[in-house]
Structure 1
Amino acid sequence: MLMRRFMLLTALLFMSTPLMAAHHGSDHSNAMEGHSSIEVAQPWTRATPPGAGAGGGFVTLTNHGAGDDMLLGATSPITERVEIHIMEMDGDVMRMAPLPGGIELPAGESVTLAPGGLHLMLMELGSPIVEGEPVPVTLEFQHAEPMEIELQVLPVGASPEGSHHEGAHDHGHAAH
C-alpha cells in the first residue's frame, strides 16, 4: 500500500512539473511586456536663473525593441508643459522651433537629445530649476509605456561629464 501511494505521488509530481513550468513562463512573459524597450541614458538639464521661463532637457534614448517607436511628448510637474524642440539653421541664424510630430526612434538605434539639436523644452517654469535637485519628467511614446525619468540638474552652462554631444544632430525627427 505504501509503495502504491509513493508511485502515485511520484506520477502526480512528474505530471504537474510541466504545468507549473508553463504557468511560471506565462507569468514571466507578462512581466516582460510591462518593461519598456526604450533605454534612457544620461538624462540631464541645466539650472536656471530666477525668472527664467524655460529650460532644456537632454537625454539619449535607445530603442531595443523589434520595431520603430516615437517619442511623442513629455510632462513634468514643475512646468505647465513640455515641448519637443529642434535647433536648425535658417540662413546664417540658428533657430529653435517646436517639433509637434515627435522624434522617430528607429529599432536598434539611439537618438540623442542635446544642446544645439533635438531637446525637450520645459515651458512656463513655476520656479527656477535648481542645481542638484532632480527634475521628474514622464516621457510618452507611440508604442512603449510612459517612462518616468529624473533629469539630473547641472550648473548653468554645464554639459554632462564625458559629453561630446554639443552641436546639432539630425536623428530622424518627423518634421519633414
Structure 2
Amino acid sequence: MLSFSRRSFAVAVATAAVAAAGLAGCASDSSDAAPDSPAAGAGSTATEAGSAAGAGASAAAGAEAPGAALTVKDPWVKAVDSGMTAAFGTLVNTTSADVTVVSAATSVSPMELHEMAMDNGKMVMRPKEGGFLIKAGGTHELSPGGDHLMLMKPSAAIKPGDELTFTLTLADGGKVEFSAVAKPFAGAQESYAPSAAPSMAGM
C-alpha cells in the first residue's frame, strides 16, 4: 500500500509539473503577442488618419477661391500728380457662366466703373450702368478711350512705378483682388459727364 501511494504521488507531481509548464508557455506566448496588437492598431489608426488628411488636402486643393472665376491680365494705372486717373487691363472670365463686375475699390481713392459715350456730339466718360459684363469664357477690355476703372480723387500723387492694389466686387458677391503698376501715359482728351464734374484731360 505504501509503495502504491508513493507511486501515485510521484505520478501526480509529474502531471502537475507538465501542466504548470504548459501554462507558463501559454503565458509567454500571450505576453509576446501583446505588443503586436497595439502596434497593429496604431498602424491602422495612422493609415486612417493619413487617408483623412489626404482627403482633406484634396478637398482644399479642389476648392475654388472666391473671385477665381475672373482674372485681370496686364493691369496698369495712369500715373498722375493730382486729379482723377484710371486703371486698365483685360478682364478674363474663365468659367462657363457670365460674370458681372459691379464695383471697384482701392485704398488710395474712391472709385467708379466708367464707360465712354457720346454726349452732345462729344465723347465723354460716365458711370457704367449695370457694371462690366464679361461673357462666359470671354474677355472685356479696360482701355484708354473705353471702359475703365476710375480713381475719382487720389489722396496723393501716383508716380510711375507705384503699385496699387484693387478689389473688384462681382454681382454674386465674389471678390477679385489684383495689383497694378503706374506708368506715364498721354491719351485722348475726354471730359467727365455730367459737365459739372471735373474734366480729366489726357485720359
Q: TM-score, normalised by structure 1?
A: 0.72
Distance 1:122 1:13, change over 3 A: same
Structure richer in helix, relative to its length: 2
Instruction: Provide Cα deviations, 1:114-137, integer angstroms capped at 9, x if missing partner.
Output: 011110111022222211112222
Given the alignment of the two structures, is residue 115 of structure 1 paired with residue 147 of structure 2, yes or no?
Answer: no
Look up the match of 1:12.
44
Look up the match of 1:42.
74
Given the alignment of the two structures, is residue 22 of structure 1 paired with residue 55 of structure 2, yes or no?
Answer: yes
Contact in 2 for aligned 1:134/1:150 (Cα 8 Å): yes
Q: Which has the higher contact order (CA 8 A, sep 6+)?
A: 1
Contact in 1 for aligned 2:66/2:175 (Cα 8 Å): no
Q: How far did 1:14 drift?
A: 9.7
Q: TM-score, normalised by structure 2?
A: 0.63
* AA in 2 matched with 1:73: S
* Equivalent position SS for 1:60: strand
* AA in 2 matched with 1:56: A
- C-alpha distance in 1 between matches for 2:87 and 2:37: 67
What's the RMSD between the two structures over aligned residues?
2.9
Alignment map for 1:94-109 (pairs within 5 Å): 94-109=123-138
- C-alpha distance in 1 between matches for 2:43 and 2:153: 68
Contact in 1 for aligned 2:67/2:175 (Cα 8 Å): no
* AA in 1 matched with 2:74: Q
Q: How far did 1:109 drift?
A: 0.8
Larger Cα-atom Rg: 2
1:155 to 184, 197, 200: 184
Q: How far did 1:97 drift?
A: 1.3
Given the alignment of the two structures, is residue 133 of structure 1 paired with residue 162 of structure 2, yes or no?
Answer: yes
Identity of aligned residues (%): 25
Gaps of 5+ in 2: 1-32, 188-203
- C-alpha distance in 1 between matches for 2:95 and 2:129: 23
Look up the match of 2:84.
54
Look up the match of 1:70.
100
2:118 to 48, 69, 89: 89
* AA in 2 matched with 1:42: D
* Equivalent position SS for 1:28: helix
Contact in 2 for aligned 1:36/1:144 (Cα 8 Å): no
* Equivalent position SS for 1:24: helix
Gaps of 5+ in 1: 159-176
